[in-house]
Structure 1
Amino acid sequence: MPIATVNPATGETLKTYDALGEEEIERRLAIADAAYRSHRTTTFAERALRMNRAADLLDEDQQDIARVMTTEMGKPIKQARAEAAKCAKAMRWYAEHAEGLLADEEPAERDVKDSGASWALVRYRPLGPVLAVMPWNFPMWQVVRFAAPALMAGNVGLLKHASNVPQTALYLEDLLRRAGFAEGCFQTLLIGSGAVERVLRDPRVKAATLTGSEPAGRSVAAIAGDEVKKTVLELGGSDPFIVMPSAELDRAAEVAVTARVQNNGQSCIAAKRFIVHTDVFDAFAERFAAGMAALKVGDPMEEETDIGPLSTEQGRAGLEELVEDAVGAGAQVLCGGERPDRPGWFYPPTVLAGITPRMRIHQEEAFGPVATLYRVADLDEAVAVANDTPFGLSSNVWTHNGVELDRFVQDLEAGGVYVNGMTASHPAFPFGGVKRSGYGRELSEHGIREFCNITTVWHGA
């Protein structure tokens, strides 16, 4: 895939970039290694000053960088602005909290004495340069939720971004440099996927994080495993959205629409499978399909647009194949389902009912504004259908029944359970999944500690 900005609303190639050669990659790795040796000695106060400055600059640049993101991957402009604002918020959160999250920990006095020590502590120390392989769907947020904690912990970052968002990737490097981080603390590597292995195997690179597809995650994990290097993976998702009879149905249907089509439906944590108790299925399906059908598909630069184009022509083709397979196997189309006759890679909000296990969409992630509806008879069936997927990123549950809630929290196989609301990431809460959705956590204290050397310091009596 060429490294280029291709406007998905028109299909027009706007700007192309040459991939870095071997000599330049080597130079960048040397710069990162040198930067780490210096950056790791800076104080939390110094890092926080720069991170807060980055947040201020990002706020100033919000409208311009939002237009870049929308041009590169097609999200509605209002969502692009919100993404930039969220990134600034996360930068400020880690600037404020990193020192406390990584403060020395003192074991219980009885355990210290039992170990034969006069004193002991646990200290969080940085690892070194960390490679981040990031996707195009949230081209800024995915990077910042890694970069802010990594830099605040004393690590440095090497970004291999998706090849269709090069301008956003270069902006992030420039932003952090303008904020005062030294040269090499954060670098964007314009390289293809074929060059990732060379960078990851370099001994100066100590760890890697990847958000993306399952095949990409397997590849990075295999290389890192061979090199015995730490990885954090956030891969696909096919999140359930469960609606029980006690739910506030109007509100659940309204939120369901947003939960499915956020970011043009191209989100790992978007609700994709809507599992509805038979007692409220028909009423929910009617409200949900009507809400999906009412969304405006159009130019993502226009404020009133709800759904822009999918990011790539290949992505739309793959989504169409899933829908056609399901319809061919008997699924009912409640709305959408047909590509519009217009330039760009648009696909309408679509709701499919009557899903069965023999349909590909039952097991594969639909990365676009396509929702699947399941009718279930009771709580047990709701849990069984929700867990009948290779993924386990997050989940959404709508109920006011305490017994049902306890059961969902206990038995849903996912990294998150969001009750009477939709899944959303926040700097204070850990984010990540289980099963084929990956491992490790981002955000919160768990995320910042993933790329730390957790060091026991023991002093004899």
Structure 2
Amino acid sequence: MPKFFKSLNPYTQEIIGEYMEASDVELEVKLEWAQSNQRDWAKRSFAERAICFEQLAQYLREHKAELALLMTQEMGKILPEALGEIEKCAGQCIHYAQHAEALLHADDIPTDATTYSGVSYEPIGIILAIMPWNFPFWQVFRYAVPALMAGNVTLLKHAPNVFGCALAIERAFRAVGFPEGVFQAIIADVDAVHRLVADDRVGMVTLTGSERAGASVAALAGSHIKKSILELGGSDALIVLPDADLDKAAAAAVQSRMMNAGQVCIAAKRFLVHQDIKAVFTDKILSLIQGLTQGDPLDSSTKMGPLARIDLAEGLERQLHKALAQGATLLCGGKRDGCNFEPTLLDNVSPDSVVFKEETFGPLAAITTFASEEEAIQLANASRYGLSAAIWTQDLDKAKSIGRQLEVGSVFVNAVVRSDSRLPIGGVKRSGYGRELSEAGIKEFCVAKTHYINS
């Protein structure tokens, strides 16, 4: 019997879509399309591929309202954030359309007694992507645009609660004239992922998701001698030093933690605050958090929508209750109604607390105090995750010194951590490996081929 997936509006709990699982025959057809079209796509010039992405950017901007509405309905993101996400995807298309050729230009490498030696960057082939629901458009465009501009094709296995977004993205690619098979969404479960990773026609797999899912996919890809890229969980530290601009730091902390209802891998989840300014800083962020309006994500006055699924809200609630039992102090929030979870602030969070040690994927911020820079570094690194970190101080030399000692993939000083097409993003430790975006990101989807020509 075929399996059906339901998409629920997390705010109303209404069913907004039902999707039937692809059969083995349908998956085989998609693989054949991908394989048969990849070589022709790779033979196209960068300029030809760039035109397709410029047209895709135009399509996204022309259909921004309807695409953002779908995103909000499927996973609860407030409408302004959804509109901004579509615009960011359009910008990603333009960035790589303009720069992919230069980023992948063959490198000349002088060596002795040769007419020529150098490196070219060739496409891998079919890229299988397993993407999450929290940024249902951006996470897809983040990998797909550089991967396809490099000459690859892709199969997208999206999260089941945003299959509507996955199909909308596929329609967008088709609408602007991408060849059949270059971008395909698949409606499937974990078993299908296993079959696809094992298939010889699939060249590599990229996953953004949980630590558990990443470990499983990495092991599977490794067993078939295939490259994988993993961007997994995060428990980012935001370090506030005594000389920081506390108004800006507080605003940034709340923005980082509460954006997308706290469902952001690179959000600041652990606020590490110097003891001398802890009381003032806490009052500032408490005031800002209490001013957030929660409700219908389609209402223009709403500043925070629901969590994407009921199981996510229930999981965060369990973490909160355990943290309180471990000695944390509840300063605000903490109540759950269905998928709606109040913006929550905890104080007196120890390094042994569940909300310090685990990732909290929702609107829950935890304050921990430190007495010295050395202690701040130690606390920041006392996590199995290592995505990113933020440092707030007016002493930039000190910030650079601290930043070099943090076990993370990105350090932002006096700024909210964010992804940018021009900068690589990725983690260390249990946050995964590999990089997306920038030159480093597009080359992840390539084979570095050496050319040596003897005179």
Tell whether 2:277 aligns with 1:280.
yes
Match of 1:422 in 2: 416
CA deviations over 1:80-113 (Å, ceiling 9, x no partner) = 0000000000000000000000011111x3xx12
Match of 1:268 among 265, 282, 289: 265
Report the CA distance between 1:404 and its aligned residue: 2.2
Q: How does 1:69-148 map to 2 (within 5 A)?
A: 69-107=71-109, 109=110, 112-113=111-112, 116-148=113-145
Looking at structure 1, the residues matched to 286 and 199 of structure 2 have their Cα atoms a distance apart, in angstroms, of: 51
Contact 1:4–1:165, Cα closer than 8 Å, also in 2: no
Match of 2:216 in 1: 219
Report the CA distance between 1:2 and its aligned residue: 5.4
Match of 1:23 in 2: 25
Report the CA distance between 1:195 and its aligned residue: 1.3
Unpaired runs of 5+ residues, structure 1, are: none
Contact 2:351–2:379, Cα closer than 8 Å, also in 1: no
Give the match's secondary structure for 2:277. Answer: helix
CA deviations over 1:152-172 (Å, ceiling 9, x no partner) = 000001000000001100011
Unpaired runs of 5+ residues, structure 2, are: none
Match of 2:14 in 1: 12
Give the match's secondary structure for 2:88. Answer: helix
Tell whether 2:358 aligns with 1:358.
no
Looking at structure 2, the residues matched to 427 and 357 of structure 1 have their Cα atoms a distance apart, in angstroms, of: 34
Report the identity percentage. Answer: 44
Tell whether 2:439 aligns with 1:442.
no
Q: Which amino acid aligns with 1:128?
A: G
Report the CA distance between 1:193 and its aligned residue: 1.8
Give the match's secondary structure for 2:306. Answer: coil
Q: Which moved more, 1:407-416 or 1:90-99?
A: 407-416
Report the CA distance between 1:62 and its aligned residue: 0.3
Q: Which amino acid aligns with 2:229?
A: V
Contact 2:313–2:336, Cα closer than 8 Å, also in 1: no
Q: Which amino acid aligns with 2:445?
A: F
Give the match's secondary structure for 2:34. Answer: helix
Q: How does 1:6-405 map to 2 (within 5 A)?
A: 6-107=8-109, 109=110, 112-113=111-112, 116-340=113-337, 344-405=338-399
Report the CA distance between 1:180 and its aligned residue: 1.5
Report the CA distance between 1:194 and its aligned residue: 2.2
Q: Which moved more, 1:75-84 or 1:348-357?
A: 348-357
Match of 2:448 in 1: 454
Give the match's secondary structure for 2:323. Answer: helix
CA deviations over 1:390-416 (Å, ceiling 9, x no partner) = 000010100112442132221011110
Instruction: Name the TM-score, length of structure 1 as normaliser.
Output: 0.97
Give the match's secondary structure for 1:355. Answer: coil
Looking at structure 2, the residues matched to 323 and 434 of structure 1 have their Cα atoms a distance apart, in angstroms, of: 26
Looking at structure 1, the residues matched to 270 and 261 of structure 2 have their Cα atoms a distance apart, in angstroms, of: 16
Contact 2:68–2:83, Cα closer than 8 Å, also in 1: yes
Looking at structure 2, the residues matched to 366 and 58 of structure 1 have their Cα atoms a distance apart, in angstroms, of: 32
Looking at structure 1, the residues matched to 190 and 290 of structure 2 have their Cα atoms a distance apart, in angstroms, of: 38
Give the paired residue count. Answer: 453
Report the CA distance between 1:178 and its aligned residue: 1.4
CA deviations over 1:198-245 (Å, ceiling 9, x no partner) = 011100000010000001001110011001111110000000011001
Contact 1:3–1:192, Cα closer than 8 Å, also in 2: no
Instruction: Name the TM-score, length of structure 2 as normaliser.
Output: 0.98
Q: Which amino acid aligns with 2:45?
A: T
Give the match's secondary structure for 2:293. Answer: coil
CA deviations over 1:28-66 (Å, ceiling 9, x no partner) = 111110010211111101100000000000000100000
- Ranges of 4+ aligned residues in structure 1 off by more than 3 Å: none
CA deviations over 1:297-325 (Å, ceiling 9, x no partner) = 00001112111000000000000000000
Q: Which amino acid aligns with 1:298?
A: G
Q: Which moved more, 1:350-359 or 1:65-74?
A: 350-359
Match of 1:433 among 424, 427, 432: 427
Looking at structure 2, the residues matched to 339 and 325 of structure 1 have their Cα atoms a distance apart, in angstroms, of: 15
Report the CA distance between 1:296 and its aligned residue: 0.2
Contact 1:5–1:16, Cα closer than 8 Å, also in 2: yes
Contact 1:244–1:276, Cα closer than 8 Å, also in 2: yes
Q: Which amino acid aligns with 1:188?
A: A
Looking at structure 1, the residues matched to 4 and 75 of structure 2 have their Cα atoms a distance apart, in angstroms, of: 15
Give the match's secondary structure for 1:164. Answer: helix
Q: Which amino acid aligns with 1:93?
A: H
Contact 1:269–1:394, Cα closer than 8 Å, also in 2: yes
Contact 2:89–2:137, Cα closer than 8 Å, also in 1: yes
Give the match's secondary structure for 2:43. Answer: coil
Give the match's secondary structure for 2:161. Answer: coil
Give the match's secondary structure for 2:331. Answer: strand
Looking at structure 2, the residues matched to 203 and 161 of structure 1 have their Cα atoms a distance apart, in angstroms, of: 21
